[in-house]
Amino acid sequence: MKKIGVFTSGGDAPGMNAAIRAVVRTCFYNNIEPYGIYEGYKGLIAGEIYLLTSKDVGNVIQRGGTFLKSARCKEFHTKKGRQQAYDNIKKHELDGIVAIGGDGTFTGANIFNREFNIPFVGLPGTIDNDLFGTDYTIGYDTALNTVIEAVDKIRDTANSHNRLFLVEVMGRDAGFIALRSGIAVGAEAILIPETQTYINELVAKLESGTKNHKNSMIVIVAEGDDAGGAYEIAEQVKQKCPNYDARVTVLGHIQRGGSPSALDRVLASRLGNAAVDALLANKTNLMIGVVNNQISYTPFSKAIKHHQKLNTDLLDLAEILSY
């Protein structure tokens, strides 16, 4: 390995810059030239590939987002697009690539590796924490703490006015953010895609809280819940209980931004370092994660096919603590 490329793809996540930095610095340590590929697969096709210096990764570990940028790329779904990407890899003489992203990123890397046999290693960069093969993904802890900080402030207003707040968080297909943040903020109910939501049961739980003289109530709603988003659920609750002063807050993309937490910075640094080590050891076509605080390796085919499962004990805990 003389030259290694690195890119970020899919949705941005806090800690991606820390991961890029770790890849670059580990390359320097091993006398390898690191190349940044701008805008993910789009940049690979367009040839936006540049040698990175120590200055490029200085003062980035604390920054959210990704300085290499990220983009969706329909062209990479085509054989012609992938051929152009391969031609650019050969032109810049890259010996291996570190791809930071999620399911879509690893799917593309898996196909590309099969077609052209270019060594790829993936790092799990997504706030959803739904990738199989790692206990935590880069960006999840920061997003979780962003939600908690926001809901704590909303609770202050809810208490002051005896209001019900439905707070919508990210989680189109997975409820990891909703579940853990809901427990952390003491939510009265947590609605997630993995479990079916019954409005009558939700209303009964809220009425029970009213009878127990709760000054305010918080309902955390994952955006992919089967009953709809927070606005739709709020309307259904109002129809059954017109006396509720129900308000909705959609946290949206603030969950993706901000300075990464200590946990995300350390996780990203460990994974970035392990990615270069894996390529040097001829390990390829796999995702690197952390399981039980140890570096783990999961083939792309398995990481893509399976998804992280929710801890059912946390579901039970959330139900008990909502009383």
Active-site residues, by number, are 128
pTM value surpassing 0.95: no
Q: Pick the residue with more confidence: 215 or 230?
A: 230
Domain over 141-256 is classified CATH 3.40.50.460:
yes
Residue 6 annotated as part of some ligand binding site:
no
Task: Please list the alpha-helical segments (H only) found in 10-78.
Answer: 16-29, 40-46
24 phi/psi in degrees, rounded to 5: -65, -45
Q: Do 3-139+260-305 and 141-256 share a fold?
A: yes
Residue 11 gets which letter from DSSP? Answer: S
Residue 25 annotated as part of some ligand binding site:
yes
| CA-to-CA dists, residue 81 to 68, 72, 78, 85, 305, angstroms | 20, 13, 5, 6, 24
Q: Which residue matches tokens 């006396």?
A: 243
In whole angstroms, give the CA distance from residue 151 to residue 33: 44
Res 28: pLDDT: 97
Tens of pLDDT, residues 126-177: 998 989 899 999 999 999 999 999 999 998 887 777 778 899 999 888 889 9
Residue 287 annotated as part of some ligand binding site:
no
Res 212: pLDDT: 67
Res 213: pLDDT: 65
Residue 180 annotated as part of some ligand binding site:
no
Tens of pLDDT, residues 45-84: 999 999 999 999 999 999 999 999 998 888 898 999 999 9
List of residues 6+ apart from 259 with CB closer than 8 A:
14, 62, 63, 64, 142
Tens of pLDDT, residues 172-216: 888 899 999 999 999 988 999 888 888 888 888 887 766 666 677
Tens of pLDDT, residues 258-312: 999 999 999 999 999 999 999 999 999 999 999 999 999 999 989 887 677 778 7
Report domain extents, the chain. Answer: 3-139+260-305, 141-256
Instruction: Determine what percent of the chain is predicted with pLDDT higher than 70.
Output: 98
Strand spans (E) along 161-293: 164-169, 189-191, 217-222, 246-250, 286-291
Q: Pick the residue with more confidence: 247 or 151?
A: 151
Domain over 3-139+260-305 is classified CATH 3.20.20.210:
no
